[in-house]
Amino acid sequence: MYVSVSERFIKCIDFLLETRRLRNQAELVKMLDLSKGYVSQILTGKREPSRGVVESLCELFPGLNKDWILTGAGDMSASAPEASADHGHLVPLLPVFAQAGSLTGWSEGVEEAKCEKVISPVRDVDMAVHVYGESMYPDIPNGSVVYVRRVSGRIIDFGHAYILDTVDGPVLKYIAPGSDGGHVRCVSANPDPKFAPYEVPKEDILGMYRVVMCMRMM
Protein backbone atom coordinates (compact mmCIF):
# COMPACT_ATOMS: atom_id res chain seq x y z
CA MET A 1 0.00 0.00 0.00
CA TYR A 2 1.33 3.40 -0.98
CA VAL A 3 2.18 5.69 1.95
CA SER A 4 2.86 9.33 1.19
CA VAL A 5 5.56 11.57 2.61
CA SER A 6 2.79 13.46 4.42
CA GLU A 7 1.58 10.30 6.16
CA ARG A 8 5.10 9.38 7.30
CA PHE A 9 5.72 12.95 8.44
CA ILE A 10 2.47 12.90 10.46
CA LYS A 11 3.47 9.58 12.05
CA CYS A 12 6.69 11.21 13.20
CA ILE A 13 4.81 14.12 14.75
CA ASP A 14 2.41 11.73 16.49
CA PHE A 15 5.41 9.83 17.88
CA LEU A 16 7.02 13.04 19.15
CA LEU A 17 3.77 14.06 20.85
CA GLU A 18 3.26 10.63 22.43
CA THR A 19 6.81 10.59 23.81
CA ARG A 20 6.54 14.18 25.10
CA ARG A 21 9.42 15.40 22.97
CA LEU A 22 6.93 17.80 21.42
CA ARG A 23 4.19 19.43 23.48
CA ASN A 24 1.71 20.57 20.84
CA GLN A 25 1.23 21.84 17.29
CA ALA A 26 1.92 25.44 18.31
CA GLU A 27 5.37 24.43 19.52
CA LEU A 28 6.06 22.69 16.21
CA VAL A 29 5.09 25.86 14.32
CA LYS A 30 7.52 27.88 16.45
CA MET A 31 10.38 25.39 16.17
CA LEU A 32 10.09 25.06 12.39
CA ASP A 33 9.55 28.81 12.00
CA LEU A 34 6.59 28.26 9.68
CA SER A 35 3.09 29.68 9.53
CA LYS A 36 0.34 27.99 11.53
CA GLY A 37 -1.72 27.51 8.36
CA TYR A 38 1.14 25.85 6.47
CA VAL A 39 1.83 23.38 9.28
CA SER A 40 -1.89 22.70 9.67
CA GLN A 41 -2.15 21.81 5.96
CA ILE A 42 0.76 19.37 6.32
CA LEU A 43 -0.68 17.71 9.44
CA THR A 44 -4.10 17.30 7.84
CA GLY A 45 -2.60 15.76 4.71
CA LYS A 46 -3.64 18.62 2.44
CA ARG A 47 -0.06 19.54 1.64
CA GLU A 48 3.14 17.53 1.44
CA PRO A 49 6.09 18.79 3.51
CA SER A 50 9.02 20.03 1.48
CA ARG A 51 12.41 18.38 1.73
CA GLY A 52 13.61 21.44 3.66
CA VAL A 53 10.85 21.02 6.25
CA VAL A 54 11.70 17.34 6.67
CA GLU A 55 15.40 18.14 7.07
CA SER A 56 14.59 20.84 9.64
CA LEU A 57 12.48 18.41 11.66
CA CYS A 58 15.26 15.81 11.65
CA GLU A 59 17.82 18.40 12.73
CA LEU A 60 15.60 19.29 15.68
CA PHE A 61 15.00 15.62 16.53
CA PRO A 62 18.10 13.63 15.47
CA GLY A 63 16.45 10.30 16.32
CA LEU A 64 14.17 10.58 13.28
CA ASN A 65 15.21 8.98 10.00
CA LYS A 66 15.09 11.53 7.18
CA ASP A 67 15.34 8.86 4.48
CA TRP A 68 12.34 7.00 5.91
CA ILE A 69 10.19 10.14 5.87
CA LEU A 70 11.18 11.05 2.30
CA THR A 71 11.31 7.60 0.70
CA GLY A 72 9.95 5.03 3.15
CA ALA A 73 13.32 3.25 3.29
CA GLY A 74 14.32 1.80 6.66
CA ASP A 75 12.57 2.66 9.93
CA MET A 76 11.13 5.81 11.46
CA SER A 77 13.94 5.90 13.98
CA ALA A 78 17.43 6.58 12.68
CA SER A 79 18.78 4.30 15.39
CA ALA A 80 15.92 2.03 16.38
CA PRO A 81 17.10 -0.53 18.95
CA GLU A 82 16.17 -4.17 18.94
CA ALA A 83 13.87 -5.23 21.77
CA SER A 84 16.44 -7.33 23.59
CA ALA A 85 19.24 -6.82 26.06
CA ASP A 86 21.73 -8.20 23.53
CA HIS A 87 20.96 -5.61 20.85
CA GLY A 88 19.22 -2.79 22.70
CA HIS A 89 20.79 0.44 23.83
CA LEU A 90 21.52 -0.05 27.53
CA VAL A 91 21.72 2.98 29.81
CA PRO A 92 22.20 3.27 33.58
CA LEU A 93 19.04 3.71 35.64
CA LEU A 94 19.82 6.09 38.49
CA PRO A 95 18.56 4.53 41.72
CA VAL A 96 17.11 7.71 43.24
CA PHE A 97 15.66 10.91 41.92
CA ALA A 98 15.83 13.14 44.97
CA GLN A 99 13.97 16.44 45.01
CA ALA A 100 15.96 18.23 47.71
CA GLY A 101 19.15 17.98 49.69
CA SER A 102 22.78 18.68 48.98
CA LEU A 103 23.68 16.40 46.08
CA THR A 104 26.54 18.25 44.43
CA GLY A 105 27.63 16.41 41.32
CA TRP A 106 24.45 14.31 41.35
CA SER A 107 25.05 12.34 38.17
CA GLU A 108 28.83 12.18 38.50
CA GLY A 109 28.46 11.02 42.12
CA VAL A 110 26.65 7.85 41.06
CA GLU A 111 28.88 4.92 40.16
CA GLU A 112 27.60 3.63 36.83
CA ALA A 113 28.92 0.14 37.53
CA LYS A 114 26.56 -0.12 40.49
CA CYS A 115 23.50 1.07 38.56
CA GLU A 116 20.89 -1.21 37.08
CA LYS A 117 20.97 -1.12 33.28
CA VAL A 118 17.76 -0.70 31.31
CA ILE A 119 17.02 -0.80 27.59
CA SER A 120 16.30 2.63 26.19
CA PRO A 121 13.71 2.93 23.40
CA VAL A 122 15.93 5.62 21.83
CA ARG A 123 19.69 5.83 21.42
CA ASP A 124 20.43 9.53 21.91
CA VAL A 125 20.22 9.40 25.73
CA ASP A 126 22.77 9.10 28.54
CA MET A 127 20.71 7.70 31.39
CA ALA A 128 17.28 6.89 32.75
CA VAL A 129 15.94 8.42 35.96
CA HIS A 130 13.02 7.55 38.24
CA VAL A 131 10.62 10.44 38.82
CA TYR A 132 9.04 10.98 42.22
CA GLY A 133 6.57 13.73 43.10
CA GLU A 134 3.54 15.44 41.60
CA SER A 135 4.98 18.74 40.37
CA MET A 136 5.08 17.60 36.72
CA TYR A 137 1.70 15.83 36.74
CA PRO A 138 -0.06 15.15 34.39
CA ASP A 139 2.73 15.45 31.80
CA ILE A 140 5.23 13.33 33.76
CA PRO A 141 3.40 11.43 36.52
CA ASN A 142 4.86 10.19 39.77
CA GLY A 143 6.62 6.85 39.23
CA SER A 144 7.55 7.49 35.60
CA VAL A 145 10.98 6.90 34.14
CA VAL A 146 12.50 9.63 31.99
CA TYR A 147 15.32 9.11 29.51
CA VAL A 148 17.65 12.11 29.40
CA ARG A 149 20.54 13.45 27.35
CA ARG A 150 23.18 15.75 28.81
CA VAL A 151 23.46 19.15 27.12
CA SER A 152 26.06 21.87 27.44
CA GLY A 153 23.71 24.51 28.82
CA ARG A 154 25.00 27.15 26.43
CA ILE A 155 21.93 26.75 24.24
CA ILE A 156 18.71 26.01 26.11
CA ASP A 157 15.62 24.92 24.22
CA PHE A 158 13.14 26.83 26.36
CA GLY A 159 9.73 25.25 26.89
CA HIS A 160 11.07 21.70 27.15
CA ALA A 161 11.53 19.52 30.23
CA TYR A 162 14.99 19.25 31.75
CA ILE A 163 16.55 17.76 34.82
CA LEU A 164 18.76 20.41 36.35
CA ASP A 165 21.56 19.17 38.58
CA THR A 166 21.80 22.07 41.02
CA VAL A 167 23.75 22.74 44.20
CA ASP A 168 20.50 21.96 46.07
CA GLY A 169 19.88 18.69 44.24
CA PRO A 170 18.27 17.60 40.95
CA VAL A 171 14.93 19.03 39.84
CA LEU A 172 12.71 18.15 36.89
CA LYS A 173 10.96 21.15 35.36
CA TYR A 174 10.05 22.93 32.16
CA ILE A 175 12.67 25.62 31.59
CA ALA A 176 11.84 29.18 30.60
CA PRO A 177 13.91 32.39 30.36
CA GLY A 178 14.66 33.98 33.73
CA SER A 179 14.27 37.60 34.76
CA ASP A 180 17.81 38.24 33.51
CA GLY A 181 20.59 36.48 31.65
CA GLY A 182 21.95 34.94 34.83
CA HIS A 183 18.85 32.92 35.74
CA VAL A 184 16.49 30.32 34.31
CA ARG A 185 12.87 29.92 35.35
CA CYS A 186 11.67 26.51 36.50
CA VAL A 187 8.02 25.82 35.68
CA SER A 188 5.90 22.87 36.86
CA ALA A 189 3.21 21.19 34.78
CA ASN A 190 0.98 20.89 37.86
CA PRO A 191 -1.05 24.12 38.29
CA ASP A 192 -1.30 23.70 42.08
CA PRO A 193 -0.01 26.94 43.71
CA LYS A 194 2.41 24.96 45.86
CA PHE A 195 4.32 24.19 42.64
CA ALA A 196 4.70 27.84 41.68
CA PRO A 197 7.52 28.77 39.26
CA TYR A 198 10.85 29.88 40.67
CA GLU A 199 14.23 30.96 39.34
CA VAL A 200 17.61 29.28 39.63
CA PRO A 201 20.92 31.12 39.12
CA LYS A 202 22.82 29.61 36.20
CA GLU A 203 25.94 29.52 38.35
CA ASP A 204 24.15 27.04 40.68
CA ILE A 205 23.50 24.59 37.82
CA LEU A 206 26.08 21.80 37.73
CA GLY A 207 24.57 19.96 34.77
CA MET A 208 21.59 20.01 32.43
CA TYR A 209 19.80 16.96 31.06
CA ARG A 210 17.08 17.32 28.46
CA VAL A 211 14.19 14.87 28.75
CA VAL A 212 14.04 12.92 25.50
CA MET A 213 11.33 10.45 26.44
CA CYS A 214 9.00 9.62 29.32
CA MET A 215 7.78 6.11 30.11
CA ARG A 216 4.71 6.07 32.31
CA MET A 217 4.51 3.25 34.80
CA MET A 218 1.10 1.53 34.89
Q: What is the pLDDT of residues 156-209, one digit of tens each?
A: 788 899 999 888 778 899 999 999 989 999 999 999 999 999 999 999 998 889
Mean pLDDT of the chain: 81
Give 90's contacts (C-beta < 8 A, 6+ positions apart): 117, 118, 119, 120
User: pLDDT tens for residues 12-42?
Assistant: 998 888 777 777 888 888 888 889 999 999 9
Q: Which range has the worst mean pLDDT, 20-34, 92-106, 107-121, 191-205? A: 92-106
Neighbours of 67 (CB within 10 A): 13
Confidence of residue 117 (pLDDT cuts 50, 70, 90): confident
In which residue ranges of the chain is CATH 2.10.109.10 found? 89-215
CATH homologous superfamily for 5-71?
lambda repressor-like DNA-binding domains (1.10.260.40)
Look at residue 45 and tell me whether its pLDDT is greater than 80: yes
At 43 the pLDDT is 92
Radius of gyration of the chain from Cα atoms? 18
Query: To the nearest whole percent, how much of the chain has pLDDT over 90?
Result: 33
At 153 the pLDDT is 66
> What's the whole-model pTM score?
0.57
Burial class (CB in 10 A: 0-12, 13-18, 19+), 154: exposed
Secondary structure element (H or E) that encloses residue 215, with its range = strand 205-215
Neighbours of 162 (CB within 10 A): 25
Look at residue 100 and tell me whether its pLDDT is greater than 50: no
At 1 the pLDDT is 53
User: pLDDT tens for residues 141-157?
Assistant: 888 888 898 887 666 78
Architecture of the domain made up of 89-215: Ribbon (2.10)
In which residue ranges of the chain is CATH 1.10.260.40 found? 5-71
Confidence of residue 49 (pLDDT cuts 50, 70, 90): very high
User: pLDDT tens for residues 50-63?
Assistant: 999 999 888 887 77
